[in-house]
């Protein structure tokens, strides 16, 4: 034992001349103790193999993490720029400060990242492993006894870490950021502090709702004309000498004085005058009663809602959102395992290795299309459980195929 300690077998920080010392003391042991030296030599070989595996895992992991981070930053940046371009009309129409506008778009980043993470994971794995296959590094590693399971381990470890992070995004970060996004957007668009009516110009407040004001002094208005065409069957036009923007518990409204109105209902025209008219602008999302924005609902509340959703449509939307939050993170593991299975098996068996990347992309497309279609077809909690079970069976089957020699 003392010889082994001096040789460095049990030294946590091996010496620089570890190999030379080990061979020297092994020679001494072989001369004195004969066959027992075989066991020491076996231990030495195992230590070299384990050390080599750690080096290979670090080598693989560094490349995977570097490519993943680079791709995530690039694709997130591109998606963010597309989001900014799509919201430029909002910036120009309401005269919002650039800092407030950029802060609003930043709130979309968690949602963007949660969507692209599985695809970035797949691209990073296919890029790194295809490069190693092209350089014949995978072939060399396999020739010294490394199995497909061992070669795929770095990709699966990265995918496991990303799955946990993806869960955190979907369950907490995305609902919080989405709720804050819609709240901030409403305040910037309709809030009393940010409402900016232009003098002598028509200001659109919503689709079909336009206000013309001759003069504006704070929240006091003069010579007001309001056209409400949100309900095409019952358009409303109001003229008033004075008006005032008022914030109420219902939202934003305009209190108008000394005016007249024209209303049409099923072709019949109605006119009248008034001394005071309180017009509730009703600028909150009219789709809330129809669309039921589930992305901004906290996860715990969403789970409770699935049991007592008021309508069948909302029930389906809640189940679809639950599939997105709880099952989509597992696709990181599924896609990483699927990619390594196709690439490694094709390379090691030397069967259509040049087509392996295309085959992996095709398998990814089929898998993601199947998952997205199935999640949209979920209509009950039983369907949700069945989909989760199928997903785990697919993942288990891929891992078993990787473990086979």
Extents of the domains making up the chain: 2-48, 201-280
Could you count the other beta carbons within 10 Å of the beta carbon of residue 164?
11
Which pLDDT score, from 0 to 100, does residue 171 have?
Answer: 92
Residue 239: strand pairing partners: 225, 260
pLDDT beneath 70: ranges in the chain: 1-56, 93-95, 144, 189-196, 248-251, 282-292, 309-310, 348-354, 405
pTM, 2 dp: 0.70
Residue 231 backbone dihedrals phi, psi, to 5 degrees: -105, 105
Question: In the structure encoding, which two tokens stand for residue 309, read together?
Answer: 């959703």
Pairing of strands 220-228, 268-280: unpaired
Which helix (H) or strand (E) segment is 248 a member of? strand 236-248
Three-state DSSP at 221 gives strand
pLDDT at 168: 92
pLDDT reported for residue 150: 82
User: Which strands form 268-280's sheet, in the order they lie side by side?
Assistant: 201-206, 209-217, 220-228, 236-248, 251-265, 268-280
What is the rounded CA–CA span in Å between residue 391 and residue 309?
A: 26
3-state helix, strand, coil split of the chain in percent (to 5) is: 65, 15, 20
Q: What's the chain's Rg over C-alpha atoms?
A: 33
Residue 348: name the closest of 139, 163, 124, 100 by CA.
139
Residue 286: what pLDDT?
A: 42
């Amino acid at each position: 034992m003392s010889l082994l300690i001096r040789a460095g077998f049990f030294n946590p920080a091996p010496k620089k001349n570890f190999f030379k010392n080990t061979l020297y003391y092994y020679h001494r042991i072989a001369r004195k103790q004969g066959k027992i030296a075989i066991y020491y030599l076996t231990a030495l070989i195992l230590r070299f193999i384990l050390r080599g595996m750690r080096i290979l895992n670090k080598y693989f992991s560094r490349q995977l993490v570097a490519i993943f981070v680079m791709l995530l930053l690039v694709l997130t940046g591109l998606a963010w720029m597309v989001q900014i371009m799509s919201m430029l009309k909002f910036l120009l129409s309401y005269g919002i400060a650039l800092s407030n506008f950029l802060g609003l778009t930043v709130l979309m980043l968690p949602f963007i990242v949660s969507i692209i993470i599985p695809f970035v994971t797949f691209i990073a794995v296919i890029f790194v492993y295809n490069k190693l296959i092209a350089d014949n590094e995978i072939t060399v590693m396999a020739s010294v006894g490394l199995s497909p399971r061992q070669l795929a381990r770095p990709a699966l470890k990265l995918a496991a870490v990303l799955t946990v992070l993806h869960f955190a995004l979907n369950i907490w970060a995305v609902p919080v950021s989405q709720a804050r996004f819609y709240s901030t957007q409403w305040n910037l668009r309709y809030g009393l502090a940010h409402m900016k009516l232009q003098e002598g110009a028509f200001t659109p407040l919503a689709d079909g709702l336009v206000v013309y004001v001759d003069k504006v002094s704070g929240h006091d208005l003069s010579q007001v004309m309001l056209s409400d065409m949100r309900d095409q069957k019952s358009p409303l036009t109001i003229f008033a000498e004075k008006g005032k923007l008022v914030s109420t518990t219902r939202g934003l409204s305009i209190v108008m004085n000394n005016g007249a109105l024209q209303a049409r209902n099923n072709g019949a025209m109605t006119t009248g005058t008034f001394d005071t008219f309180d017009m509730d602008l009703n600028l909150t999302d009219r789709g809330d009663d129809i669309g039921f924005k589930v992305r901004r609902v906290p996860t715990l509340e969403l789970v409770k809602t699935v049991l007592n959703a008021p309508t069948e449509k909302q029930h389906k939307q809640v189940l679809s959102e639950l599939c997105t939050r709880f099952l989509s993170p597992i696709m990181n593991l599924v896609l990483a395992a699927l990619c390594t299975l196709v690439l490694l098996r094709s390379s090691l068996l030397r069967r259509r290795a040049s087509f392996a990347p295309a085959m992996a992309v095709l398998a990814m497309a089929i898998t993601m299309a199947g998952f997205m279609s199935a999640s949209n077809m979920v209509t009950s909690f039983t369907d949700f459980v069945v989909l989760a079970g199928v997903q785990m069976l697919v993942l288990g089957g891929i891992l078993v195929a990787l473990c086979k020699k």
